[in-house]
Chain A
């Protein structure tokens, strides 16, 4: 089967997490997005969960070593409670670091170093003449196993530490966000509204304005914090009336990005499933910070809300709001909820 996909990327797209394409090919107009990336390139959930588990393990072991150093050291066959207690402090700090810091990778590496230290201590317990040498050997094997798990988690999280908004580290990796929404309007109506690019700031929260330079090229201005203007020129790379649109920044943009939207006819004339995909390619710490300011919510939520506003505008001509309605006196919590966009009400 010939696969047709909308080229939205800025280059190599990661191939993992590929979503299942539609099995239904009745409609000639249907766009196959089998090659579409469904998730951002982030540390996989498993690595995160594993790191969290290791964090709790550290906390528990650390607490045990601090509270009952004698018991722990005799269990491991190395009868040195002082060493056990200091190892406990290390474990506890590492565990808290893993569980509380946005980027757990350095703390996982600290676990790896700690494991090596523990192995050295246990090796001293395996010398001939130590009555606990059997237990020390068993502990050595156990810690070696833990070391392997720690190293695996640490290296995975380091390799994929590319979510600057979450991890705050300066390893820039491309960000992909994808979402979809069902609307009652036809693909043609959806396409027409979107193709009128000047409509975009009406529903894309991070955009200040979009101006047409010519039929295919546009100048975008993003809403930034004071003193920071983020603008770029953009061109339409694919334009299939009633079916799909894709765009990308021209060379030299401060924040290279690309996007595509597919208007997939829903079954039995039930309107359209609109699939939006946004791809950012932040290049460096300063721009990463700029991106974080640009996307004032978590980016996945933001693209979802953008698409929801698109649907509302298309179906109702307006965006539902309570912003500006009367209220009584808000408490600190109420004002904070609004500030953090937990509610749109003032």
Chain B
């Protein structure tokens, strides 16, 4: 089968690898119909995620058709159309029983390694480093899904792939980020980063009763999407974010702040240069300008919610702000399994159509190009959906039909 394989920093190759097979009774194999590139995949692409090995198949947002089930899987059958959550969860451990699926104790075969780095191990994830299990990812034609009786959700054919695919990660991630803010009617929520997670955070905050959402980014097309999603927008290259946020809230600050940027955040001036230098010298693992700003901007007693990915050590983070101003910090990999049902209902009822974030649809074979484009925000790229079974356009010929990349 074809798969998108990581060989090092900025080295991706779509190549032939063996097809996955059932390894455990509760496994299933899916033939992938749609898969997507996540913003967090860019951290792998940029070489910021520890524990990657050359030869790893990446990708964790995927859906498809069940083609084989292990004898321990009773609730799925061959032919079912399913969307798969990115964390792998057993359903039986202490954390799964509390529906904290991304903390599953039994799904990371390399748990000892994660324990060395973080103290304890979270759940295994698809295609996201050997620290998180080393599972082959979903930017491929087939994938093996462990604990398939717990993770995947069946979807009917009345919805398109594009409408349900993002249940696998970015929609629940944005939703959980907003839910963690404990939004009260009329609250003001500020969102850093208007990529897919930021956009879903905006939509979710409004669905959960926020009176006002303020979105922060620097790319006009992303700010436009945020505005369409119902947010007021700030371009941090044009205004002093802290000053404007204070001004917009009468000096008090937003009730909740969501950091949807993560470890490769951009900033200017002294701190921007400082982070670049330290990260290059490996003196800090993550660049956190958005988090620094959120911790300053948030109102006293407010909540800072972090759906963004941070992997290691952060520098110059104003912890005193949390203590002296009684901030609540919420984070975590998304407990996707918990949100699949309720969010699918929101989609079915027409309250939200997640396909609004898609800007590009490309064949899987174009994945390396798509990563470059996504990383550089070329062609207003916000979200790329990859089609594993689409033939690449032949060289010299006019790309025909669905193989043609198109803007939505």
Contacts and interface: CB of A to CB of B under 8 A. Distances in A.
> Is chain B found bound to chain A in the same assembly?
yes
B15 A328 contact: yes
A323 interface: yes
Contacts of A324: 21, 23
Contacts of A343: 53, 109-110, 113, 130, 134
A319 B107 CA distance: 8
B169 interface: no
Contacts of B146: 320
Interface string B123-160: 01000001001111000100010110000000000000
A329 B88 CA distance: 25
Contacts of A323: 23
A344 B107 CA distance: 12
Contacts of A342: 110, 113, 130
Contacts of B92: 184, 315-316
A285 interface: no
Contacts of B54: 328-331, 333-334
A326 B110 contact: no
Interface in A276-331: 301, 304-305, 308, 311-312, 315-331
B53 A334 contact: yes
Given A318-B24, A322-B135, A327 B90 contact: no
B110 A344 contact: yes
A62 B207 CA distance: 71
Contact of A327 (B57, B91, B94, B107): B57
Interface size class of B (residues with CB under 8 A): 35 or more
Interface stretch (B1-9, B194-202, B208-216): B1-9
Interface residues of A, number: 35
Given A271-B94, A322-B135, A345-B130, A328 B25 contact: no
Contact of B106 (A304, A320, A334): A320
A170 to B, nearest CB: 30
Nearest to A342: B113
Q: For the complex, would chain A's binding face be called helix, strand, loop or mixed by DSSP majority?
A: loop
A344 B134 contact: yes
Nearest to A270: B94
A343 B111 CA distance: 10
A60 interface: no
A325 B53 contact: no
B57 A326 contact: yes
B95 to A, nearest CB: 9
B96 to A, nearest CB: 9
Given A316-B26, A317-B72, A328-B13, A333 B53 contact: yes
B245 interface: no
Interface string A177-212: 000001110000000000000000000000000000
Q: For the complex, would chain B's binding face be called helix, strand, loop or mixed by DSSP majority?
A: loop
A322 B133 contact: yes
B146 to A, nearest CB: 7
Nearest to A314: B92
B94 A325 contact: no
Interface string A15-41: 000000000000000000000000000
Contact of A318 (B13, B26, B135): B26
A323 B144 CA distance: 12
A337 interface: yes
A326 B17 contact: yes
A328 B130 contact: no
A320 B108 contact: yes
A305 B17 contact: no
Interface in A249-276: 270-271
B23 A325 contact: yes
A327 B1 CA distance: 11
A327 B17 contact: yes
A325 B21 CA distance: 7
A308 B108 CA distance: 11
A96 B336 CA distance: 53
A320 B111 CA distance: 10
Contacts of A345: 53, 109, 130, 134-135
10 contacts: A315-B93, A315-B105, A315-B106, A320-B107, A320-B108, A321-B24, A322-B134, A328-B15, A344-B134, A345-B134
